[in-house]
Amino acid sequence: YGKSDQKTRLRSGDSIVVNPVGNIVSVESGVLRPGRYELKESETFADLVSFANGYNLNSDQSNILIKRLDKGRSSIIDIEPDQLSSTIVKNGDGLFIREYKYNSVKISGAVKNPGTYLLPIGTSLTDLIKDAGGYESSAYPFGGYLNNKNSLRINEESKEKLYNKFLNSLIKNSITSTSENNSLGLVLQQLKDAPVTGRIIVEFDMDILLAKPELDTILEDEDEIFIPYKTQQVYIQGEVSNPGAVRYFELENLAFYISASGGVMDTADEKTVFVVHPNGETKSISLNSRFNFNSGDAKNALIYPGSIIYVPKSSNLASNLEVASIWAPIISSAALSLTSI
């Protein structure tokens, strides 16, 4: 117990005897310092909990078990908290205190009370937003971002498979130029090192979630949620004359934003444009004819504040290096990283 009231001083010729170990008991959960402890014959399970620094915050003190081995047989004994101080331990006993299970979820951005929350298993996104005080008046739920560790793991595996498939496709075509070979290696390294996210596309609009509870999302441990503030920008990337941001206008279509960025370059793909919405959804827009943005799918494509328009490079090129340079920004999502931001 850390007491220093021992009066006897050691003298020359004294002997110190360390007796054999006594009762070894364990406490597996529900305490601040789980482990195996030596207790005297007269000590109880209350002493064991004390040596283990007491109960932790997640302990369920209404559910305590003793696992005891006796003559080769194992038995389970239910015990009440007030019986711990009167129950003598036996060598080999194990104390099990049930712990409540929680998920640790972080929410940041345009909510009134951002932070990390400990939530019971099965808590939904709607419940967390309510706990966080709801959205700020300038919040943009349509751009909400949910990062999930399991999704991140799957995306990392998928990127590796995509990288290997892409590499094998390039190997099938012989590379005769040493300089091209070296440059291709740099592009491939860029692809391999590109970060991935665990973003899950979910519904963040509270009105929709309350009207359709089936669209709600059950949160998992270590989920991270970010709610952005409203933006007035649309982002144009890729083969346009002036990549960057253009102010959002509600009634304008794809052709307006392409034109506002200086139009497409001669190196652009003639038939396909990608649009990434703030909620993470990606649309591939097929053009009816060469750079015609005022008909078909292109004319009716929805553009929102925070959307990203990406014009890829033409694939009508000869070398492996040029093909790799087209797919590099697409596979690595470098050109679409503003979605995560």
In this model, does residue 334 exceed pLDDT 50?
A: no
Lowest mean pLDDT among 22-31, 236-245, 259-268, 289-298: 289-298
For residue 332, with 0-12 CB atoms within 10 Å meaning exposed, 13-18 middle and 19 or more buried, which class applies? buried
Interval 314-318 mean pLDDT: 58
| Beta strands 244-247 and 233-238, pairing class | antiparallel
Interval 68-79 mean pLDDT: 88
- Between the alpha carbon of residue 334 and those of residues 34, 56, 193, 308, the distances in Å are 46, 44, 11, 12
In this model, does residue 315 exceed pLDDT 70?
A: no
Q: Tell me which of 42 and 192 has the higher pLDDT.
A: 42
Contacts of 307 (CB under 8 A, 6+ apart): 234, 235, 275, 276, 277, 278
pTM of the model: 0.69
Q: CA nearest 40: which of 54, 30, 25, 61?
A: 25
The predicted pLDDT at position 266 comes to 86
Confidence band for 228, pLDDT divided at 50, 70 and 90 = very high
The predicted pLDDT at position 50 comes to 95
Query: Whole-number mean pLDDT of the chain?
Result: 84
In this model, does residue 322 exceed pLDDT 70?
A: no
Return the number of other C-beta atoms located less than 10 Å from residue 40's C-beta. Answer: 11
Say if CB 68 and CB 74 are below 8 A apart. yes
Interval 251-274 mean pLDDT: 88
SS3 call for 126: helix
Interval 149-165 mean pLDDT: 81
Share of the chain above pLDDT 70, in %: 86
Confidence band for 157, pLDDT divided at 50, 70 and 90 = confident
Exposure of 106 in the CB half-sphere (CA atoms within 13 A): 8
Confidence band for 270, pLDDT divided at 50, 70 and 90 = confident
The predicted pLDDT at position 14 comes to 93
In this model, does residue 178 exceed pLDDT 90?
A: no
Question: How far is it, in rounded angstroms, from Cα 119 to Cα 221?
Answer: 9
The predicted pLDDT at position 83 comes to 93
Residue with tokens 């596979």: 331
The predicted pLDDT at position 267 comes to 84
Share of the chain above pLDDT 90, in %: 51
Say if CB 226 and CB 145 are below 8 A apart. yes
In this model, does residue 173 exceed pLDDT 90?
A: no
The predicted pLDDT at position 335 comes to 38
The predicted pLDDT at position 286 comes to 83
Say if CB 24 and CB 9 are below 8 A apart. no
Question: How far is it, in rounded angstroms, from Cα 249 to Cα 233?
Answer: 9
The predicted pLDDT at position 321 comes to 54
Contacts of 303 (CB under 8 A, 6+ apart): 234, 248, 252, 253, 254, 257, 275, 309
The predicted pLDDT at position 318 comes to 44
Q: CA nearest 91: which of 35, 36, 23?
A: 23
Q: 62-73: per-residue pLDDT in tens? A: 999 999 988 888
